[in-house]
Structure formats: structure tokens, C-alpha cells
Structure 1
Amino acid sequence: MTDQEPAPAQQGRRLSTKETAELLGVKPETVYAYVSRGQLSSRRGQGRRGSTFDAAEVEALARRNKRESAPASSGNELSVRTRITLIDEDRYFFRGVDAAELATRHTYEEVAEWLWTGVLRPGVTFTAPEESLAAARRAVAALPEHSSPVDRLRVAAVAAATADPLRYDLSDESVLGAARSLIPTLAAALPLRRSTYKDGVPIARRLWGRLTYEEPDEASLRVLDLALALLADHDLAASTLAVRVAASARAHAYATVSAGLGVLEGPLHGAASGLAHRMLLEVLDRGSAGPVVADELRAGRRVPGLGHRLYRGEDPRAQALFAALAELPEAGPALAAARDVVTTTARHTDLHANVDLALAVFTTSFRMPAEAGETIFAVARTAGWIAHALEEYGERPLRMRPSGHYVGLRPPQPLPSATGEE
């Protein structure tokens, strides 16, 4: 913003850069970032070094920042301003666009680009550099045979980082380059069950041969691509919050993805689809959902694949995936089993199907292992994690640092004595 010289009668108090930074609670370099964004105007001081700033304008910006950083609710939940994903009225949106519709009409890679840049790039594909892929495959091959897919993905991400000398460059261009190479590297570093791709083909085709021995056709590959696109982001899930904390500390893109993968492995997050997968297999084996649901409830467990804290009705991701699965003959039995589960539980609860149940229908239909849903989830969500890391890199460093509420013994306390001392 160009500063206009005010008439002497209108001139107000001027603040130095240091005073302005202290009032705003930021570093001096951030003050000049406000100037470059047009949020503050500056003027070279007469007879003094550096720029000066209008006190009233600075105070107004401080009040505005305070309002914008205030929590959205009166509770103790952390609130983070984001332009990526909105969840509202049983729908979710990527940069203002209906996410389920976007995923239905566009490939996973196109949805990823939309999340990252707000620009749609029709036909875009991602390529894994040979150095990155070789490093990831060597590292994954060294793991014990019983290692989980997320173990392998986490190791692959770390190994890929060592092959990228530009990983510490946090500019948008560099981070986007890393993202476009990391996602295909993750997909191609997993153990191969059957070869279904050559380099430069969609992520869904690369990933299919890592999930099952079954031969894919274009319809089944499209459903896998749809699942990836639907799962690309979902606001501040636990793994995404971990990614933003890492990015706030200015960890590089590979490290932020590794942070997300670490949280994803929890049974209440990415592993949930595996529980639904096993349940559907049991329903198919026993021929009815009734006894299976009864066993789950008798054991004190929630029925897998039902309910979501952010949706009152059916998860929109599940709706889109169920609609696509209904077109696949192979999915018929598992889809009927899932509907039986929903109908059985609906007698006493108002819980609706979530995306974990829809994902389980897909994985059981094509003889994938129970952990396949978690693998799909992890590869898919990498796109969203990168989008959130990019957004967080543009914020004040280390802002994701809440204060602890200490409830322990009040000091001073005597020094502890060694065990056995009197």
C-alpha cells in the first residue's frame, strides 16, 4: 500500500518498526509482510532510521487480528482458520466446491491440484523420480515381513526425503514439486502383488497392484480413484492437526506427511475401515447381520462403519462411494451385507453409514486384505496434508503452541530422595 502524506493537522502518532512489532505481538519481519500484503502502510521517518507506522492503523490491525484469532466457539477446542475444507449441513466442500461432486467428476490427481493451488489441471499425472523411488523401495524392503502398510508408507516418506536435496526449501513451488513426487512414490513403494501400471499413469492404477491379486477393469479402477479423491481431505482430523503442528515448526513436507501417518495408524482414525472389513466378512460368512451386530454390542463395542460426529445423516463420502459400488457386479454381495448392517442397527439407533463402511465394501469385494482401506486412506489423505502444510507455512511460525494447564503439586516441593533412602 502506498502511504499518502497527510496534512499536518491530520498527522497522528507514528510508531517505529520495533514498537509496531511489539504492539502486534509479531517479529519485525512480519511487520513488513503486513506492508507487502497491503494490511499496513509505512513511511520513511524524517530524521530517523527505518520506517514508521501510523499508531491508529496499527492498533486497528491488532484489534482485527485479535478478533480473527478468537476461537469460533466458547469451548476449549482449538480453532484454526483455513480456506481448504468446509463441512456444513451434511456436505463437505473443497475450496467452496462440493467435494463429492468434484471427486465424482475429476481424478484424484486433479482434486489434489485443486486443494493445493485452487487451479484445476485436467489430465494431470504425478511421476516418481527414480532416486526417490529407489530409496523408498530399499528402505521398505528392509522392514520385517509383518510390517503394516502404514509402517511401510512412513518409512517410504522418510527415505524419499533423503533423496530430495531441496526438501528444506519451503517455497510453494518446491513443496508442490515434492508433493507431486511423494504421492506416486508412496503408492509404488509398497510390496507388489500384481503389475498393473507403467510410470506416468494414474495413482489408482499404480496402487491397485499393491492391494490385491485381482485383475482390475476400468470400472473398478475408477471406483478406487473415486475413493482416493473423496478421502483427499476432511478438515482438521487428528492426523491433519499433527501435520499443521509440524508445519508450524517449519518441518519440511516429507516430515509433515510422516507426522500425519503416525497419527493415522490409531484405531480411531485410519484403521477404522479394517474393523468394518472384518465385520462384513463375518456377515457374509454367517449370512445375516443380526448375530454379528449382536456380538459387537455384547462385547461392548460400537458397530464399525456407523456414525460420524460431523454428520447427522449419512456421510456424503459414503453416499458417493456406495452409488459407484452399486454399478460393480463384484460389489453386490458386500454391498448387500453393508445394507443389512445398517438396517439391523436402525431398529434401535439413528446411526448412518460412514465412509469406513463404504470403503470396506470395496476392499472385501476385490479380496483385498483388511488393512487395504487404511492404505487407501493414507495415500489419499497425503494430498490434504500437503494442502494444510502449504497453508500453515504462510502463517506465523510456532503458532500451534497451546499452553498447558498445570494441575500438579504447587512448588516449591522438596527434592525427591533415591529409592531406599531414609
Structure 2
Amino acid sequence: MAEDAAPGTGDDGRISTREAARRLGVKPETLYAYVSRGLLGSRRVQGGRGSTFDPAEVAALARRGRPASGTEASPAADAGIGRVRTGITLIAGDRYYFRGVDATELAAAYSFEEVAEWLWTGLLRRGVRFEAPPQPLAAARRAAAALPADCGLMDRLRVAAIAAAAADPLRFDLAEGAVLGSARSLIPTLVDALPPAGPAQRGSGPIALRLWSRLTARPADDASLRVTDAALALLIDHDLAASTLAARVAASARAHPYAVVSAGLGALDGPLHGQVSGLVHRMLAEVVERGSAGPVVAEYLRAGLRVPGLGHRLYQGDDPRARLLFRLLEEVPEAAAPLAAARDVAATVARHSPQHPNVDLALGTLSLSCGMPSEAGEIVFSVARTAGWIAHALEEYAERPLRMRPVGAYDGPKPEQPLP
């Protein structure tokens, strides 16, 4: 039957186009624009014209992003681009929580792998270890090793992710169990594909220990491994940071988990997100060499640059991640001078600007203390955040596909322009 002959609700509980448009307060044309953008599902009426809609989906769409003025909402507003529903991380009151549990307490009590499992499944698997499958690992190692000798570790990490994907024919399976399997194998593959800085830790050891052997030639000690493992656990997720949003956009288009991680790694390849800890490393090394933070801070300010490692838009006081890492670094003997330098920088800047230490200051202190290269903090960040990107991908795979589709506010020349 024609849709106009079926106002309201049909026998199957679905509603007509007219009724769906009425409940949303939009025109039918706008309703079908929502359908075309993947914001709303529809079903053709059998034997007639028109479509029917799930009233629950219509009600959910009406609750998301509707303007208070009563005017029609744009598809971008209804798409939830401004506010994305997530049950992974909450940041509130200078603290942050993974699935409702204080993240710093989780990192202090459990290993990186255990916290990752908690974020993915809501279950705690004590003693869990991640294994790299032979074929993807071999492909990742070959690809990373084929880069020019002067390439950095981040370049090798990005190439390793792509090579591992190419060697996994099951990567397109987006069922939850398959995605979790990919995550548990991709993380150790990325780590084990990096060239060893000293005697490499192979097999099924903790990720922190295996990553340590890729970042420094120093023998691993318990205190240093503890702070490295805590850094990995703390950095798994931090709500919708730029790289996480990029990962969710890829997942919204149903990209496989390796591509989701590659999207996140791509967003890190800039000076404003993942690379700050490297700037901190070099700054602290100069402070240690000069014996005082004063002249180093002065040079940053004179050049019109922000002093790296201080301040965070989501926290009024200290970054809780930095607070835990600095406490653990106090147990590392080699960290005494870098720790003093970091505190000197914070105290110097605090004389005129109320900025507090953030996690990048702690990561730079960690890398300098442990004889790691300046980009080590970015590597720790990337390996850790891989677990978070997978958690967000799992959430996004359960949403309507292609919902991450904003609408451009065109401000170019008005049509019809002459043919150039």
C-alpha cells in the first residue's frame, strides 16, 4: 500500500515516512537525506511506494543533536559529530576512568595487557599475554627493516602495521571475537617488528619488557619496567583525542582493525599530538647539561614557543597520568637528574603561569632517565593507544555505518560560475 495510506504505526510496529518526519520535526526530504547519509535505516513497503522506519531508531535520532529552537537539525548535528556516545573513558574532576574505574588505580595495580583486556571486554584476565603470529610478524619485520637506515622508529611502526595487515587474510572479519584476536596479535607484532636496541626479548613476555629491549640497550630493572608498563596502561585511552577520532572515522567506514590503527598513527604524525614528549626529552637534556631550567625556559619564551610538557585543556591541576609516573620514577635511580630537571622547569614556569605538568613531561623524563631516544615517548604512546583505538573501533562497529559524516559549510564562489 502507499505510505500515505499508512499513517502512524503498522502491524509490525514500524512507522510511515510521514509519521517519522513528524516525530523528528523535519520534512520528508530531510528524512530521506538522513537515510542517504546512514543516520537512519529504512525499509521499503512491500507491494507499494514509500518506506517504513523503526520508531526506536527515530526516537534515538530525535534525542541526538536536535536544536532547542525547533528548527530542523542538520544531518551533521544528528550524526553526533560533536558528541560521540562512548562507554570507554570518562574524564571528570581532574581524574579519568576506564569503564567507570579510576585509570590510575588500574595502571598501578595491573599490567598493560590486563588493562587493555578490561577496556576491550569489561573483564579482567590476570596474567594475560599477547602473541605475535609468525606470518604477519615476518612481514612486518621485513617491511620495517627495508626502510633507509636513518628512518625513525615511528616510520618503522607505521610500515609494520601496514605490512602485518597485508599478511593477515582474516583482517576483514569485523566480528567482535575476530577484532579482539587481531588486537591481541597486532600489538606484539608492532613491538617485535622494531629493531632491538640491545638483547631482544622474544616470545610471550610482557609487552613492557619486549618494548624496553627495542628502546634502550640498558639492562631492564624492576623499577624501570614498572614505570614503562604503567605508562603503557595509562596511555591506552584518553577519550576522543585527535588520533582516536580519526580511528573512529575509519571504523565508521568499516575499515578493518589494522587500517583503524593506521588512521590513528597517521593523526599522530604531527607536532601537536604525539611528538611533544620528544620535545620534552630534548629540553630536559639541555636543562641537565646547563644545570638550571631558567635559561632554557627563557629561550623558549624568547622564541615565542610554549614550554612543552605543561598544561592540559582537560585538567585544571596536574595531569593524573603524570602524577603516577613521577611517583614511580622516584624509584628509578637513573631518574634523579631528569626528575630534578622536570621539577625545575615546572617551578620556573609556575612563577608567572599556572600550568601543571602533563603526561608528556613524564614521558620525556622516562625516556631520558632510561637511556632511550627522544622519540621513545611517542613509541610508548602509540603502542599503548593502539589498544584504545581498537576499543573505540569495537564500539563504532556496533553503530550505524558511515555515521561520522559531517556536512561542509560551503563558503566558496556561488554557482553558476562560468566554465574556466
Q: TM-score, normalised by structure 2?
A: 0.86
Per the alignment, residue 255 of structure 2 pairs with 251
Write the letter of the residue equivalent to 2:216: T
Per the alignment, residue 97 of structure 1 pairs with 101
User: What is the CA-CA distance between 1:70 and the residue it aligns to?
Assistant: 5.0
Per the alignment, residue 318 of structure 2 pairs with 314
User: What is the CA-CA distance between 1:69 and the residue it aligns to?
Assistant: 4.8
Is the 8 Å Cα contact of residues 169 and 175 (structure 1) preserved in structure 2? yes
How far apart, in 2, do the equivalents of 1:221 and 1:22 lie? 57
Q: 1:349 aligns with which of 324, 345, 353?
A: 353
Write the letter of the residue equivalent to 2:64: E
Call closer, same or farther: CA 1:54–1:398 in 2, change over 3 Å.
closer
Q: Is residue 2:61 matched to residue 1:65?
A: yes
Write the letter of the residue equivalent to 2:310: L
Gaps of 5+ in 2: 1-7, 22-30, 69-76
Is the 8 Å Cα contact of residues 15 and 54 (structure 1) preserved in structure 2? no
Q: 1:333 aligns with which of 332, 337, 347?
A: 337
Is the 8 Å Cα contact of residues 120 and 391 (structure 2) preserved in structure 1? yes
Q: Aligned residues, how many?
A: 386
Per the alignment, residue 182 of structure 2 pairs with 178
User: What is the CA-CA distance between 1:26 and the residue it aligns to?
Assistant: 5.1
Q: Spell out, residue by residue over 1:246-279, the C-alpha distance to the aligned partner (whole angstroms, 9 max, x if none).
A: 0000000000000000111211001010000000
SS in 2 for 1:87: strand
How far apart, in 2, do the equivalents of 1:117 and 1:368 lie? 33
Per the alignment, residue 393 of structure 1 pairs with 397
Per the alignment, residue 3 of structure 1 pairs with none
Write the letter of the residue equivalent to 1:63: A
Q: 2:213 aligns with which of 193, 209, 214?
A: 209
Q: Is residue 2:305 matched to residue 1:301?
A: yes
Q: Spell out, residue by residue over 1:319-356, the C-alpha distance to the aligned partner (whole angstroms, 9 max, x if none).
A: 01001001111111100110000111110000000000
Q: Spell out, residue by residue over 1:115-160, the C-alpha distance to the aligned partner (whole angstroms, 9 max, x if none).
A: 1111110100000011111000001111111222221111101111
Is the 8 Å Cα contact of residues 16 and 52 (structure 2) preserved in structure 1? no
Call closer, same or farther: CA 1:178–1:315 in 2, change over 3 Å.
same
Q: 2:82 aligns with which of 78, 81, 89?
A: 78
Per the alignment, residue 121 of structure 2 pairs with 117
Q: Is residue 2:14 matched to residue 1:14?
A: no
Per the alignment, residue 36 of structure 1 pairs with none
How far apart, in 2, do the equivalents of 1:367 and 1:70 lie? 53
User: What is the CA-CA distance between 1:228 and the residue it aligns to?
Assistant: 0.3
Gaps of 5+ in 1: 1-11, 34-44, 417-422
Please show how residues 108-147 of structure 1 align to structure 2 within 5 Å. Answer: 108-147=112-151
User: What is the CA-CA distance between 1:198 and the residue it aligns to?
Assistant: 2.7
User: What is the CA-CA distance between 1:61 and the residue it aligns to?
Assistant: 5.1
How far apart, in 2, do the equivalents of 1:149 and 1:197 lie? 17
Q: TM-score, normalised by structure 1?
A: 0.86
Q: Spell out, residue by residue over 1:290-335, the C-alpha distance to the aligned partner (whole angstroms, 9 max, x if none).
A: 0000000000000010000111100000001001001111111100
Per the alignment, residue 155 of structure 2 pairs with 151
How far apart, in 2, do the equivalents of 1:182 and 1:13 lie? 48
Call closer, same or farther: CA 1:139–1:245 in 2, change over 3 Å.
same
Call closer, same or farther: CA 1:346–1:402 in 2, change over 3 Å.
same
Call closer, same or farther: CA 1:88–1:336 in 2, change over 3 Å.
same
Is the 8 Å Cα contact of residues 114 and 126 (structure 2) preserved in structure 1? yes
How far apart, in 1, do the equivalents of 2:221 and 2:47 lie? 70
Call closer, same or farther: CA 1:305–1:90 in 2, change over 3 Å.
same
Q: Is residue 2:102 matched to residue 1:106?
A: no
Is the 8 Å Cα contact of residues 91 and 239 (structure 2) preserved in structure 1? yes
Q: Is residue 2:411 matched to residue 1:415?
A: no
How far apart, in 1, do the equivalents of 2:349 and 2:66 lie? 40
Q: What fraction of aligned residue pairs are identical, expressed as a percent?
A: 63
How far apart, in 1, do the equivalents of 2:109 and 2:260 lie? 29
User: What is the CA-CA distance between 1:412 and the residue it aligns to?
Assistant: 0.6
User: What is the CA-CA distance between 1:63 and the residue it aligns to?
Assistant: 3.2
